[in-house]
Amino acid sequence: MEHAAQAVLSCMTYILSPQSYLAEQRMEGSRFLINNKFYRICTAIILLLLIVYLGDKVNFIFSPLTSLIHIIIIPLLIAGFFYYLLRPLVDYMERHKMKRALSVLIIYVVIALIMAGFSVLVWPSLREQLLNFVENAPVLVTSLSDQLAEFEKSGFLSKYIPEDSDLFSRFSDFLSQGIAQVTDYVSGLFSVVSNLVIILATFPIMLYYMLKEGSKFGTNLTLLLPRRYRKDGEETVHEIDEALSSYIVGRVIVNVALGILMYIGFLFLGLPYALLLTAVSIILNFIPYVGALLAAIPVVIVGFIESPSMAIWSLVIIVIAQQIQDNLISPYVYGKQLDIHPLTTVILLLVGADLGNILGMIIVIPLYMILKIIVRKIHYRIVEDKTEL
């Protein structure tokens, strides 16, 4: 009966005022679309794609802004990295009745002394090995090809690889191209050092104020939020702070310990470029899962250039060092605090590699940890608000 009355009323409205009736119907359709979740999602995706498309067409407008962001972001990332490494020391000195600013200055003096010792004791050898590697790259490629040819003639793999196969030649070409690309990359680093001076000169200043403020640094950021969200913001900042501190400090301790073990093994083995390969391994091991594999590749190649047996023993040293790290060092340093599914980690590493090469693979995990905490907090807040309503 009620539906019939509504139908009669609609007919009368249409007869008396067809324009008002059509306007009302359009309004009802608009309300339906606005309240439809699928429609809202599709609209958001279309708008996002449109923004990306337009941004790509007018990217020249954003070039100065992009350069400015690069100048700010890189020293900020470096400052953030050292902030989490040095903050425990500053907190310890502050707990023992020393002013925080004075603690930071004392730590800066100690770091300056350490860097002076590094530049005298370690850097000359590391620099010499790096320059020798770049200079002797063509010789290394030739030696690698000769070793592969000898290995092919030995008949060791003849039962597994057909005689007419060009596998060894293709593998040799692949490695030769890889060594050439690495050489060009290292040579390019020397040419951009002058451009990095300005960027690296700013990070100690950023680091000083970050260490001086301590936990207040994150709390001050929450003052930008509306008052009703500040408590949630403080909790989120604290959770992010704890996660990043645990991750960064843990990775540094574990990787340095791994590097010491590998360097001792390489020296005992007599592996060329031992210090350089160890430094590369420490950096690459910041990448979860695949970092160990990437670090092993140059070590095995350099070992194989000397002899196949040295390549095998180099791999044995890496495996032993990794086992000591995974079973003895890591559980006592940070346990399983990463809390990211391995498949998610692999996808993140692929995205990071595509966006920023090695640097992208290193920073993508901390960025994901931050984003995960923020999204989880926002979701919790939305659910809580709906429950209150």
Residue 183: helix, strand or coil by DSSP? Answer: helix
31 vs 72: which has the higher pLDDT: 72
* Residue where the block lists tokens 């003096």: 109
User: What's the mean pLDDT in 12-18?
Assistant: 50
Q: Determine which of 2-16, 87-101, 253-267 has the lowest per-residue pLDDT on average.
A: 2-16
Give the pLDDT confidence score for residue 8 in this predicted structure: 45
In tens, the pLDDT along 159-189 reads: 555 555 555 566 556 566 655 655 555 555 5
In tens, the pLDDT along 282-317 reads: 888 887 777 778 888 888 888 887 777 888 888 888
In tens, the pLDDT along 63-118 reads: 666 666 666 777 787 888 888 888 888 888 888 878 888 888 888 888 888 888 88
- pLDDT greater than 50 at residue 227: yes
Q: Do 220 and 213 touch, CB atoms closer than 8 A?
A: yes
Q: Which of 100, 189, 193, 183 is nearest to 139 (CA)?
A: 183
Q: What's the rounded Cα separation, in Å, for the pair 203 and 367?
A: 19
Q: Do 232 and 385 touch, CB atoms closer than 8 A?
A: no
The reported pTM is 0.66
Q: What's the rounded Cα separation, in Å, for the pair 71 and 370?
A: 22
Coarse DSSP helix, strand, coil percentages of the chain, rounded to the nearest 5 percent: 90, 0, 10
- pLDDT greater than 50 at residue 127: yes
In tens, the pLDDT along 178-222 reads: 556 555 555 555 444 445 666 667 778 888 888 887 766 667 777
Q: What's the rounded Cα separation, in Å, for the pair 90 and 103?
A: 6
Distances in Å between the alpha carbon of 356 and those of 17, 56, 203? 63, 19, 20
pLDDT band at 150 (very low <50, low <70, confident <90, very high): low
Give the pLDDT confidence score for residue 191 in this predicted structure: 47
| First CA to last CA distance, the chain | 34
- Torsion of Cα atoms, 56 then 62 then 64 then 69, to 10°: -100
CB-count exposure of residue 302 (10 Å: 0-12, 13-18, 19+) = buried
* Residue where the block lists tokens 């530049």: 119
Q: What's the rounded Cα separation, in Å, for the pair 48 and 35?
A: 20
Distances in Å between the alpha carbon of 189 and those of 38, 132, 182, 221? 49, 15, 11, 35
Q: What's the rounded Cα separation, in Å, for the pair 279 and 281?
A: 5
Give the pLDDT confidence score for residue 19 in this predicted structure: 53
In tens, the pLDDT along 320-329 reads: 888 887 777 7
Give the pLDDT confidence score for residue 58 in this predicted structure: 60
Both tokens of 176, joined, read 């030769």
